[in-house]
Chains A and B, each alone.
Chain A
Amino acid sequence: MAAIGLEHYLTVAALLFCLGVYGLLTKRNLVAILMSIELMLNAVNLNMVAFSRFITPDAFVGQLFAVFTITVAAAEVAVGLALIFSIYRDRATTSTEELDWMKW
């Protein structure tokens, strides 16, 4: 049983990412879908930080990248929730099934 190394972090990240993708494809609730996307982004963050720690220990590029990703994710969620609100105002639902005002 090897010491916890890069590959462990990468594995966790990959699993997290797949989890996100799974949620993205299966969930029918917009909020849940946003959460799945957050999972994917966090998987990326994990990757970044892990790489930064193990590949470039003296440069902080990876962590920097992670910070930007976090920010962007926050912005995306903010905008996303706002849009979901306006959808909700229109048709009192947050289910993707109802997003059919145009040919999907």
Chain B
Amino acid sequence: MLQDYGAIALLMAVALIFPFIPLFVSAYIQTKKPTTEKLSTYECGVDTIGKTWVQFKTSYFLYALVFVVFDIETVFLYPWAVKFQVMGTFAFVEMLIFVAILVLGLCYAWRKGALEWQ
């Protein structure tokens, strides 16, 4: 029983320690010769211009949406995959219909130009 809690404690410990290791390592092995050039924000050798927070194109968002759809699809596919021999052809057909509907959605997105990079 104590192991249960021990496991959690271990997990937390690792989670805390892990990020520090690389910091320490780098801090240990690096050589320190700071110059103003080095201390300035690094941007391909040029000083930063404007905000460093830039927006992403909404096209990414559209891709993300399409991705999410098929990502979620797998959530349904896994249990089905585990069980579908047992459930027989009917389940198979059902899943085909399910996927077909998603494909229809994909076609729709395509036809609407959600996949072109504008």
Contact = CB atoms under 8 A, between A and B. Distances in A.
Contacts, number: 29
A74 B72 contact: yes
B34 interface: no
Contact of A67 (B5, B68, B79): B79
A67 B79 CA distance: 10
Interface in A53-100: 67, 70-71, 74-75, 77-78, 81-82, 85
Interface residues of A, number: 14
Contacts of A81: 61
B94 interface: no
A-side interface mostly: helix
Given A71-B72, A74-B68, A78-B68, A1 B61 contact: no
A74 to B, nearest CB: 5
Nearest to A3: B1
B58 A85 contact: yes
A25 interface: no
Interface of B: 1-2, 4-5, 58, 61, 65, 68, 71-72, 75-76, 79
Interface of A: 1-4, 67, 70-71, 74-75, 77-78, 81-82, 85
